[in-house]
Amino acid sequence: MKSLAVLAAAAAPLASALSLSVASTGGNATITTNQYGLLFEEIYNSGDGGLYGELIRNRAFQGGNINGVATLDRTTDYWTAVNGVTLAIDTSTPAVSTSLPYQMRMDVPTDTTDAVGFYNEGFWGFNIDSTKRYITSFYLRGTYHGVVNCYFQDALTGDQLSTVSLEVSQTAGQGWVQHMSATFMPTTTLAYPNVTFYFMFEDGASLAGESLYFNMLSVFKQTYDNRNNGLREDMATALAELGAKWIRLPGGSNMEGPYPPYYWKWNATIGSLLNRPGRPGVWGDINTDGFGILEQLQMTIDLGLEVVLAVWDGLYINDSIISEADIDPYVDQALNLLEFLLGDTSTTYGALRKSLGYSNPFTISYVEIGNEDNISNGESSYKAYRYMAFYTAIRALYPDLPLVSTINPAPSGLTGIDGTIDLHIYENEATFVNLFNTFDQASRKYPVFVGEYAAIRTGSHTSGQVGVQTFGMACAEAIFLLGCERNADVIIGTAYGALFKEYNEEPGTVAVMKHTANEILYSMSYYVQQLFGANVGTQTLPVTATGAGFGPVYWSAVLNADGQTVLKMVNYAGTTNPVTVTIEGSTATSATLYVMSAPSSASVNNLSGLGGTTSNITTSTLTGTAGTFSVPFTSGYQIVVLVV
Ligand SMILES: *[C@@H]1O[C@H](CO)[C@@H](O)[C@H](O)[C@H]1NC(C)=O
Ligand SMILES: *[C@@H]1O[C@H](CO)[C@@H](O)[C@H](O)[C@H]1NC(C)=O
Ligand SMILES: *[C@@H]1O[C@H](CO)[C@@H](O)[C@H](O)[C@H]1NC(C)=O
Ligand SMILES: *[C@@H]1O[C@H](CO)[C@@H](O)[C@H](O)[C@H]1NC(C)=O
Ligand SMILES: *[C@@H]1O[C@H](CO)[C@@H](O)[C@H](O)[C@H]1NC(C)=O
Ligand SMILES: *[C@@H]1O[C@H](CO)[C@@H](O)[C@H](O)[C@H]1NC(C)=O
Ligand SMILES: *[C@@H]1O[C@H](CO)[C@@H](O)[C@H](O)[C@H]1NC(C)=O
């Protein structure tokens, strides 16, 4: 009995052992370079308070957030008075600009003798790094002749962390004057963000009984590539290291706008910051639009990303829809935007672009008409007139520019490149595993961007927690991505929704990365996209399996640009049996093996103080015999990339 049992136990893995034989030719799809992409929109301080380098919160009194809803009610939120002054929203004239009609007024008590001023809290604090340059500036109206000291202060110890002074000499009659500091470096580096930024008027006595007016108060830390009005360096670096190839911008639901008339208007996001009124976003925050269309496109240049440009098409999130009779001016706005980005400098908007420092036209790879038009009650109008109004007008002027429908199938019987669609898939983990073969059956008439996807719940849960991003969920997403790769003849590319969220504001929903003032949390999904993005192919390769079919191990093979064979495998709730891989026609005896693992399927990555990064990607050399390799799986959940 005993020896029989041993025999049976030894035989079982053999019987079910998986062998994969990867052909060197004969795949059915050429893979676009665009398999891995990004979605950028303003969501939970992804831009303001995130990628956009401005560190002052509520810098121009454009509105705020009440109970999670963006509001145009102006407040002095995030500002605190120092030494007895009072701060108030003020609308006296002149305003600093017609776009920014609200300013902050500081009233100084008549008995003042000390320095007076105020401080800002930043976006959940400030990052203090003694190796980086910072700069501050503000617009002032009123009479003051003296020094303004601007500095960071540790909110926990009260220590002053930097010093810079501005000499101000102006009278009320001069109206608004901008003051800009020299660059300065903090005296220390802080490991925590609990810091405020002070604007202190040294000669408080001279201001006794007077008022001063402020707008566009700003602090930037040195930005990615040292761009003016540029990107937060660590976040842009994280994006660069993700290695994606394209980005859809400026949204996303946020482009649609919460209700009339607050859709995303390109021409309100360009030029002087004083000419950008901002607007209520759909995700609860006011958008300053400091991270405007040109700043976003500069980012795509700096990061080498192709652009999928979304244009507003008459649908608001609150179901308001522009009627057919009224749609033309909105079509014109989309055409104006395209002329602004693509037009010769002899055109009206091409000349405007040039005047803003961009002589050369940008490159736009796709234009997507709207966002999620099959919800917000948009489906019937999209099919009846909205899609074709934009499609026809853009096609007439840009015959080669591919257009993307947000509804599946594309309206009006369009197919081929003209029938390109954007699908958004938010499902639970179990569904993502099952989506592995969903595109095997997809119509080949409609090329697909999976413009947003994310596993948002563990297991097969259909309600409850949507924020946890476990390793099991990341494995499920990886399986889905293998299905996309196998069907690269119809799947142009994929992007996870959302890209960034501020951790303090939105700890509980998914993002590729979450940031605080000081730190970036790289989700498990970030590492999956990075690993797969670094191992894209140029064409698919057929794989013949023996011993088992798909599940618990899933796979996909491609040929890469260097002529190497790349086999991606995901073990999902499997065993630790090795998989025998044969690369047909190869005599290689060594291969590179990348393995992403985590302690368990329930593991998550978190901020450093909350458990930190638990996922791990190792790179090693695997030895084989004449093109055959035994690929080990050391745990039931693992993502493996073999490059031969
Ligand atoms: C420090 O700042 C963080 C982020 O705003 C906050 O969560 C935390 O409570 C602060 N710590 C202290 C001791 O105030
Ligand atoms: C959307 O909001 C606008 C402005 O508040 C309102 O007039 C309109 O009725 C709303 N639309 C719908 C369909 O609720
Ligand atoms: C943007 O363009 C629209 C339509 O041409 C116009 O109504 C609006 O005033 C412009 N907005 C700004 C801020 O220039
Ligand atoms: C919108 O399209 C998506 C993707 O095809 C689909 O899952 C969803 O059910 C559709 N929603 C509506 C309201 O039609
Ligand atoms: C290409 O192969 C994949 C994987 O076997 C399959 O799902 C897909 O349908 C094939 N595409 C075509 C156009 O035959
Ligand atoms: C990070 O840790 C906090 C505190 O333990 C927890 O509430 C949160 O859910 C964790 N984040 C993730 C993504 O699990
Ligand atoms: C990743 O795993 C390797 C091998 O087990 C180990 O040596 C390394 O320290 C791990 N790295 C991290 C960041 O956990």
Q: Report pLDDT digits (tens) over 561-613.
A: 999 999 999 999 999 999 999 999 999 999 999 999 999 999 999 999 999 99
Closest CA to ligand 7's atom 13: 616
- Pairwise CA distance, residues 119 & 78, whole Å: 8
pLDDT in tens, 237-268: 999 999 999 999 999 999 999 999 999 999 99
Please tell me whether residues 580 and 525 are part of one structural domain.
no
SS3 214: strand
Shared domain check, 618 and 557:
yes
Q: Which of 256, 315, 317, 318 maximizes ligand 2 atoms within 8 Å of its Cβ, making it the mutation to test the pocket?
A: 318
Query: Could you give phi then psi for residue 374, rounded to 5 degrees?
Result: -90, 0
- The average pLDDT across 380-403 equals 98
Supply the pTM of this predicted model.
0.95
End position of a domain, from candidates 481, 503, 533: 533
Is 15 a residue whose pLDDT tops 60? Answer: no
Domain containing residue 179: CATH number: 2.60.120.260
- By CB atoms closer than 10 A (0-12, 13-18, 19+), residue 563 is exposed
**Whether 491 and 529 share a structural domain:** yes
115-134 mean pLDDT: 98
Domain boundary among 206, 221, 236: 221
In a domain, 75, yes or no: yes
pLDDT single digits (tens) 324-339: 999 999 999 999 999 9
Same domain, 406 and 526: yes
pLDDT at position 583 is 98
Instruction: Find the domain containing 120 and state its range.
Output: 64-221
Choose among 231, 229, 390: nearest CA to 309. Answer: 390
Q: Are 487 and 463 in contact (CB under 8 A)?
A: no
Phi-psi region of 312 (alpha: psi -120 to 50; beta: other; left: phi over 0): beta
Residue 271 lies in a domain: yes
250 cis-preceded (ω within 30 degrees of 0) = yes
Same domain assignment for residues 122 and 248: no
Please report, for residues 195, 336, 507, 519, 612, the alpha-carbon distance to residue 607 in angstroms, rounded to integers and kept in the order given: 19, 43, 11, 7, 5
Structural domain total, the chain: 3
Tell whether 371 and 430 lie within a shared domain: yes
Q: What is the mean pLDDT of residues 179-190?
A: 98
502 within some domain: yes
Instruction: Provide the 3-class DSSP secondary structure of residue 334.
Output: helix
- Count the alpha carbons within 13 Å of 598 in the hemisphere toward its beta carbon: 28
- Domain end position, chosen among 188, 221, 254: 221
**Cα 504 to ligand 1 centroid, rounded to whole Å:** 10
Strand spans (E) along 471-530: 491-496, 500-502, 513-515, 520-522
Average the pLDDT over 524-551 and give the result.
97
Same domain? 162 vs 215: yes
> 334 and 271, same structural domain?
yes
Q: Is residue 364 part of a domain?
A: yes
The residues lining ligand 6, judged by C-beta closer than 6 Å to any ligand atom, are 468-469, 604, 606, 610-611
Q: Which atom of ligand 5 is nearest to the CA of 442?
A: 9
Same domain, 88 and 205: yes
CATH of the domain at 468: 3.20.20.80
- Strand 211-221 with 134-141, pairing: antiparallel
348 with 394, same domain?
yes
For residue 30 and ligand 5, the question of a CB distance below 6 A is answered with no
Confidence of residue 13 (pLDDT cuts 50, 70, 90): very low
Q: Is residue 59 part of a domain?
A: no
**Site to substitute for ligand 3 among 62, 99, 263, 267, most atoms within 8 A of C-beta:** 267
Q: In this structure, is residue 165 part of a structural domain?
A: yes
Query: Is the pLDDT assigned to residue 21 strictly greater than 70?
Result: yes
For a ligand 2 pocket test, name from 259, 263, 279, 323 the mutation site with the most ligand atoms within 8 angstroms of its C-beta: 259
Separation of alpha carbons 53 and 529, rounded Å: 25
User: Percentage of residues in the chain with pLDDT exceeding 90?
Assistant: 96
Asked if residue 288 and residue 345 are part of one domain, the reply reads yes
* Residue 387 backbone zone (phi > 0: left; psi -120 to 50: alpha; other: beta): alpha
Indicate whether 189 and 152 sit together in one domain: yes
Has residue 58 been placed in a domain? no
Cα separation of 28 and 30, whole Å? Answer: 7
Asked whether residue 57 is domain-assigned, the answer is: no
